[in-house]
Amino acid sequence: MAQPTLAVVGATGSVGTVMLELLSSRRNVWGEIRLLASARSDGKQLSCRGEQLTVRELTPEAFDGVDIALFDLPDAVSREWAPVATARGVTVVDNSAAFRMEPDVPLVVPEVNQEAMRERPRGIVANANCTVMAMIMAIAPLHREYGLRELVLASYQAASGAGQIGVDTLHDQLSKVAGDRLLGSRPGNVRQAIGDDLGPFTAPLALNVVPWSGEIAPLGWSSEELKLRNESRKILGIAALKVSATCVRVPVVTGHSIAVHAVFGSEVDADGARQVLRNAPGVILVDDPESGEFPMPIDAVGTDPSWVGRIRRAMDDPRALDLFITGDNMRKGAALNTVQIAELLAAESR
């Protein structure tokens, strides 16, 4: 049987670039790989699987003969083009937020709820939010063991979560503040040094943390905070899961981190949780504070698993754990999970 044809839609973007790296390094299950992007990228050459591939303009006809398409596009563009692709017989794996909470679109993390993708009436499988992804890899096995009831979360989200413009803005700001040791010691002097170069952020990110990520949502919440609640409920299958989240943007290039307070239905202990996580797929346990070993984005960047540590039973509740999680938001948080879903779809056709 011929290997399926894959399209990477948004191949020239920052996540699309990581997708091509993964397709080049993982087991090859694909026949033709077709790269699609906007008209301004038409004809551009990109490397994948050791060969140069030519980017084609995204058109309806570009999906002819394609079996599976990886979408890395803005929400509105995915809403427009995913139905175009599925109408031509393509199964779409979408990395945007456009379809995640649609009841007839499965939201899939293969290590957690692979079975959810069996039913996909619209021909679309959604990829989870990058911060949710890092967190859910550790929380899901603990939920299976102890029965999750509640999450209180604080995220520390990297600049790359806002795309290449976020990374460029952070580096530009850092170059403006480098060498001036008075910056940050007096009111307003960081703002003055950086000026209006805020890029996608609402405040200076260099020498600062910004307690906001996403768009404004009802009652003072941000869209990123609501994703942590809503997507966790759907992936874990816990409709009434209590979640409270605060999302913070930090001056890190790549690697989202989450401080987690998790309340379970039964008593937990730190050693038992470590054993569960030690055996969990897609998780690396890094938990030796006395030796200065804990999960940090500078170590997790460029790797696939979620790094988990600082595990301790809550001070005042024997049913609760506190832990810290970090993961590369460009790999498992976006590109890798999308590729993994596509590989499972490819296996169905064998």
Q: How far apart are CA 318 and CA 48, in angstroms?
A: 50
- 244, exposed or middle or buried, with CB in 10 Å at 0-12, 13-18, 19+? middle
Q: What is the pLDDT of residue 130?
A: 97
The yes-or-no verdict on residue 254 having pLDDT over 80 is yes
CATH of domain 132-329: 3.30.360.10
How far is it, in rounded angstroms, from Cα 209 to Cα 207?
Answer: 7
| pLDDT at 194 (0 to 100) | 97
213 neighbors 161 (Cβ within 8 angstroms)? yes
* Residue 282: partners with Cβ closer than 8 Å, 6 or more residues away: 111, 137, 304, 305, 306, 332
Helices (H), 26-163: 75-87, 110-113, 130-146
* Tens digits of residue pLDDT in 283-317: 999 999 999 999 999 999 999 999 999 999 999 99
pLDDT computed for residue 349 by the predictor: 73
Q: Phi and psi of 45, rounded to 5°?
A: -100, 130
Work out the number of other CB atoms within 10 angstroms of the CB of residue 46: 18
Active site residues: 130, 256
pLDDT surpasses 80 at 350: no
* Nearest alpha-carbon partner for 98 in 122, 120, 80, 111: 80
Rounded Cα–Cα distance for residues 134 and 142 (Å):
14
pLDDT of residue 2: 86
Homologous superfamily (CATH) of 6-128+334-348 is NAD(P)-binding Rossmann-like Domain (3.40.50.720)
Beta strands in the chain (DSSP E): 6-9, 33-37, 45-48, 51-54, 56-57, 68-71, 91-94, 107-108, 124-127, 148-157, 242-249, 256-264, 283-285, 306-313, 320-327
**Structural tokens at position 295:** 């999960």
* CB distance 237 to 143 below 8 Å: no
Could you tell me the pTM of the whole model? 0.96
177 φ, ψ (degrees, to nearest 5): -100, -10
CA distances from residue 125 to 90, 99, 104, 221, 329 in whole angstroms, order as listed: 11, 8, 9, 27, 19
Could you tell me the residue ranges of all domains in the chain? 6-128+334-348, 132-329
Q: CB atoms < 10 A from the CB of 57, how many?
A: 14
- Per-residue model confidence as pLDDT tens digits over 194-248: 999 899 999 999 999 999 999 999 999 999 999 999 999 999 999 999 999 999 9
Query: Residue 148: pLDDT above 80?
Result: yes
* Axis-axis angle for helices 130-146, 223-236 (nearest 10): 40
3-class DSSP state of 180: coil
For the segment 62-90, what is each residue's pLDDT rounded down to a tens digit? 999 999 999 999 999 999 999 999 999 99
Positive or negative, the Cα torsion across 201, 202, 208, 211? negative
Give the strand order in the sheet containing 124-127: 56-57, 33-37, 6-9, 68-71, 91-94, 124-127, 107-108
**Same topology for domains 6-128+334-348 and 132-329, yes or no?**
no
Tokens of 122: 């619209």
CA atoms within a 13 Å half-sphere pointing along the CA-CB vector of 209:
9
Find, among 288, 308, 312, 304, the residue nearest to 296 by Cα. 308
Residues facing residue 48 across a β-bridge: 51
User: Are 287 and 308 spatial neighbours (Cβ–Cβ below 8 Å)?
Assistant: yes
